[in-house]
Amino acid sequence: MASNTSSGRTRFKSHLGKLGSGENTSRGLEREEAADALHLMLTGEASSAQIGAFMIAHRIRRPEPQELAGMIDTYRKLGPRLKSQQRQNRPICFGMPFDGRTKTAPIYPLTTLILLSAGQPVVLQSGRRMPVKYGVTGEELFNTLGISLKGISITEVNDCLRINDFGFIYQPDHFPLAETLIIYRDEIGKRPPLASMELIWTAHEGEHLIVSGFLHPPTENRALKTLGLLKEKNIITVKGLEGGTDLPISRTCILTRQKNDIAQRIMLHPKDFNCSGKDAPWTNIDEWKIDAMEALSNRGPYAKSLRWNSGTYLWLAGLTSTLNEGIEQADFYMRSESSKEILEKLIKWRSSINQ
C-alpha cells in the first residue's frame, strides 16, 4: 500500500508540474491525465499538500474542457449511478452549485414537483452545506417540505426514480469519496475546478436532458465543449439565479439549447408571458416553507416564478410544443394542486422505507 501511495504521489507530481510550472509554460492536462489526477485525489494517494496546490493552480489558470471531461470520467467510474426504466421518459438532470443559495429564494424543488405532476422525471444532486457560500441546499429544502432525503441507499434512490420519477443524489450518503475533498474548499477559500465539474456531471446513465446553470459566459462555453467531449446529445445551459438553473423573472433569460452538436441561443422575456416581477429574496427556511406551499396552490410571492420556471421547463423538455402552452400547463397544475399530491406520494414513499 505504501508503495502504491508513493507511486501515486509521483504521478500526481507530474500532473501538478504541468499545471503550475509558470505563466509561460503552464499547460492543461490531457483528458486521461486529468482523470488520473482526480482519481489519485479521491482515493487518498495524492498528499494534502499536492491536492491543495492542484486546486489553487487549476483555479488560477481555469480548467479546460478536456480536463473537466477527464474528471467526470473519474466521477462516472467511482461515483453513484442511476438508471431509468425503458418505459420512462428521459429525465431532466439539473446541475447547480453544490454550495447552495444565499441571496434568492430557490424555486427548483417546487418546479420539480410540477414537472413530476406532468410525468416528467427529474434527477437532482446536492450535498450538505459546504464552502464557500454555505448556502441552503436541496436536501434541506425538501426536508422542510416533509421529505427526508438523507440515509437512503443508492438502490432505494434508483427505486424512487423508477417508481416516482424522482432521483436525488445526496453526496454524503452516495459519494463519500467526493466528501473527502470538501475541506479543501474551506481551506483555500475559493471554489475549486470541481465546482465547475459539478454543474455538468450527472449520476444518471442513459438518455437524459442535462440542464446546467452558469453565471459567466466562459463557464457556459467550457460546459458546452466539455459535454460535447462526453458525447452528451441533449444539453441546455441557463444563466440562472446564483449560477443555478432557476430562471429569473426580473430580467431576460439567456439559454443555449444544444442537440446533436447544434447549438441555438434562446432569449426569453418573462414580461411577454405575464411572468415578470422581482425575484424573491432568500430569508430563512421557515418562511420559505410557507411561501413554497402557497406557490404550489398558485398563491403567494413565489407563484409567478414557479409558473415561469415550470412552464419553461415543460416546454424545453418537449412536453408542450410552445412556451405559451407550457405556462398554461404549469398554471393548470398549480391551480389543481396536483403537485401537493405528488409531494404526499413522495412523503409516503419515504416513510415506507423506515417500516
Q: Is the pLDDT of residue 148 over 80?
A: yes
Confidence bin at 270 (pLDDT 50/70/90):
very high
3-state SS of the chain? CHHHHHHHHHHHHHHHHHHCCCCCCCCCCCHHHHHHHHHHHHCCCCCHHHHHHHHHHHHHHCCCHHHHHHHHHHHHHHCCCEECCCCCCCCEEEECCCCCECCECCCHHHHHHHHHHCCCCEEEEECCCCCCCCCECHHHHHHHCCCCCCCCCHHHHHHHHHHHCEEEEEHHHHCHHHHCCHHHHHHHCCCCHHHHHHCCCCCEECCCEEEEECCCHHHHHHHHHHHHHCCCCEEEEECCHHHCCCCCCCCCEEEEEEECCEEEEEEECHHHHCCCCCCCECCCHHHHHHHHHHHCCCCCCCHHHHHHHHHHHHHHCCCCCCHHHHHHHHHHHHHHCHHHHHHHHHHHHHHHHCC
Residue pair 103/281 in contact by the 8 Å Cβ criterion:
yes
Tell me the average pLDDT across 57-78. 94
pLDDT at 355 over 60: no
- Whether 314 shows a pLDDT value over 70: the answer reads yes
Q: What is the mean pLDDT of residues 258-264?
A: 93
This prediction's pTM: 0.95
Q: Per-residue pLDDT for 174 more than 80?
A: yes
pLDDT in tens, 298-310: 999 999 999 999 9
Q: What is the dihedral of CA 212, 139, 70, 88, to 10 degrees?
A: -70
Please name the residue that has the C-alpha cell 421557515: 286
Per-residue pLDDT tens over the stretch 10-60:
999 999 988 877 665 667 899 999 999 999 999 999 999 999 999 998 888
Check residues 192 and 160 and name the one with the higher pLDDT: 160
Residue 71 has pLDDT above 70, yes or no: yes
Whether the predicted pLDDT of 3 surpasses 60: no
User: Would you state the cell numbers that stand for residue 41, as one nine-digit string?
Assistant: 485525489
Domain boundaries, the chain: 2-61, 88-344
Cβ(291)–Cβ(281) below 8 Å: no
pLDDT at residue 98 in the model? 94
For 113-137, what is each residue's pLDDT tens digit?
999 999 999 999 999 999 999 999 9
Averaged over 167-184, what is the pLDDT?
Answer: 97
What band does 6 get if pLDDT is binned at 50, 70 and 90? Answer: confident
User: What value, to the nearest 5°, has the Cα angle with vertex 321 and ends 209 and 277?
Assistant: 80
Give residue 60's pLDDT: 87
Mean pLDDT, range 257-274, rounded to an integer: 95
Is 158 a residue whose pLDDT tops 60? yes
Give the pLDDT confidence score for residue 354 in this predicted structure.
72
Percentage above 90 pLDDT, the chain: 88
The hierarchical CATH code for the domain 88-344 is: 3.40.1030.10
Q: Could you tell me what percent of the chain has a pLDDT over 70? A: 97
